[in-house]
Amino acid sequence: MAAPLPPSGRHLLDRRTFLGNMSGGLTGVALGSLLAGDGLLAAEAPSDPLAPRPPHFPAKAKRVLQIFCTGAVSHLDTWDYKPELIKRHGQPLPGGKGLITFQGENGNLSKSPWAFKPRGQTGKYVSDLLPNLAEMTDDLCFLHSLTSKTNTHGPGEMFMSTGFTLEGFPSAGAWVSYALGTENHDLPSYVAIPDPRGGPQQGPANWANGFLPAAYQGTPFNADKPISNLARPKSVSREADGAAKDYLRLLNDEHLANNPGDTELSARIASYELAARMQLSAPEVNDLAGESQSTKRLYGLEDANPLTAAFGRNCLLARRLLERGVRYVTLFNGAFAMGEGVLNWDAHRRLKSDYDRHGPVLDQPVAGLLKDLKGRGLLDDTLVVWTTEFGRMPTFQKGTEGRDHNPSGFTAWLAGAGVKHGYSHGATDELGHKAVTDVATVHDFYATVLHLLGLDHRRLTYYHNGAQRRLTDVHGHVIKGLLS
């Protein structure tokens, strides 16, 4: 008996249908090949999530160190010299009568309590607040026209860390780990080092993986507080521990063989195996005892201020992680502590006394870190970026001796691979209130960072919730003026 016909009345495999299906199938294969070649097709998740992967194009930098000063550092008291602000000290802000910012009404214009002096061969004016970093200005590339979308610390941290003001999005380090993997399979691809005094206001959300696979989230390290629950229990012998790991590996291999092509499973197994390897590698990288006395002095480890010494140890830890192939390190300076006094750069009431405490903690350790990276040749392929969530007003708040939040213009700087040295790009107005020349966004900033890593920010995407998401959202342009 003849086979029944489909509803159309034609055989499923008649000549016309067969040729049409074949033509459409070949067209789809060709289209897929073209999209994949242009990097526009979502890639299959790698079986080893931290395997090193090539960039989109030749890179200037192989790794990133981000120094994040939380609390919104005042650009007007550090990097952005404004002689007009000195001249108009005590006068009202032009057009600012009754201006209400984050914490209230603003008072008169206020010059910086610290003198600015020309530094290095370039003669760049930098504040006396940071004398050791001031010596490094010939190695730094300043971006004086950065802007933010928010004047609130929590959303400001998120915006600078993830490109979005809300939580739930991947951090920059997670994106870079997702794109490039790591060069050291015994350490995480992305490490976050909170300030010795505590974490930033938004805590782990600053180094979270968001909707990316969990393997790409930052792992918190600290020079003085080893990773929790990593060491082998004293009640378990080394031999028994090794035997248990071998047996677990056998079970995992068999489970993976029974589920071929399950990339989520293989990625999870790879993460567990990394945790096991870190039992040996993490204690070694945290052990600073073998560093020379001259290196310890360079970082301020012998400083009389215990906060400076503690932050110096974190800076030295950052160098040790970078030289061992960790792809992205975020080093935090400043901590959020409700009701315990100001532990970061959020100087609303007493700018002078607060910054006199915070400045030395940052200054020598970071200057020492830059000198050490340069002396070891690591700056040749490491990009260092210094960031904060936004800037400060050129006025003092009414009735105080501190500055309120200002997202309309502030400073970041870069150093190392692929950027100009001793250079300043963009500018705020003559009083330092708003960015007016070569105005840049955080999305522009990260488009530039990714470019230096050999990544096109428009092609680094991840499909989530119906959209191809990226670090730069739907914005961002490479700031070519920063590139060497």
Those residues with Cβ within 8 angstroms of residue 80's Cβ, 6 or more apart along the chain or in another chain: 144, 410, 411, 428, 432
- Of 385, 354, 374, nearest to 482 (Cα)? 385
Q: Lowest mean pLDDT: which of 24-28, 54-58, 178-182, 190-194?
A: 24-28
pLDDT exceeds cutoff 50 at 403 = yes
The structure's pTM equals 0.85
**Least confident stretch, 20-24, 53-57, 82-86:** 20-24
**pLDDT tens, 284-309?**
888 899 999 999 999 999 999 999 99
Q: pLDDT tier at 30 (50, 70, 90 boundaries)? A: very low
Mean local confidence (pLDDT), 268-288: 71
CATH hierarchy code of domain 63-223+295-482: 3.40.720
pLDDT band at residue 172 under the 50/70/90 scheme? very high
Break the chain into its structural domains and give their ranges.
63-223+295-482, 229-287
For residue 246, what pLDDT is reported?
Answer: 74
Q: How far apart are CA 394 and CA 396, in angstroms?
A: 7
Is residue 32 predicted with pLDDT exceeding 60?
A: no
Average pLDDT over residues 68-74: 97
Comparing 93 with 100, which gets the higher pLDDT? 93
pLDDT band at residue 90 using 50, 70 and 90 as cut-offs: very high
Task: Give the CA diameter of the chain.
Answer: 102
pLDDT of 420 strictly over 50: yes
Mean pLDDT, range 351-363, rounded to an integer = 97
Name the pLDDT band for 20 (thresholds 50, 70, 90).
low
Tens of pLDDT, residues 434-468 = 999 999 999 999 999 999 999 999 999 999 999 99
Average pLDDT, the chain: 88
Which 3-state string (H, E, C) describes the chain? CCCCCCCCCCCCCCHHHHHHHHHHHHHHHHHHHHHHHCCCCCCCCCCCCCCCCCCCCCCCCCEEEEEEECCCCCHHHCCCCCHHHHHCCCCCCCCCCCCECCCCEEEEECCCCCCEEEECCCCEEEECCCHHHHCCHHHEEEEEEEECCCCCHHHHHHHHHHCCCCCCCCCHHHHHHHHHCCCCCCCCCEEEECECCECCCCHHHHHCCCCCCHHHCCEECCCCCCCCCCCCCCCCCHHHHHHHHHHHHHHHHHHHHCCCCCHHHHHHHHHHHHHHHHHHHHHHHHCCCCCCHHHHHHCCCCCCCHHHHHHHHHHHHHHHHHHCCCCEEEEEECCCCCCCCCCCCCCCCEHHHHHHHHHHHHHHHHHHHHHHHHHCCHHHCEEEEEECCCEECCEEECCCECCCEECCCEEEEEEECCECCCEEECEECCCCCCEEECCEEHHHHHHHHHHHCCCCCCCCCEEECCEEECCCCCCCCCCHHHEC
pLDDT of amino acid 268: 65
The yes-or-no verdict on residue 82 having pLDDT over 80 is: yes
The tokens describing 169, both together, are 């999005």
Cβ atoms 342, 364 nearer than 8 A: no
Q: Which of 95-99, 136-140, 293-297, 382-386 has the lowest mean pLDDT?
A: 95-99
pLDDT over 70 (residue 34)? no
Q: Whole-angstrom Cα distance, residue 351 to residue 248?
A: 56
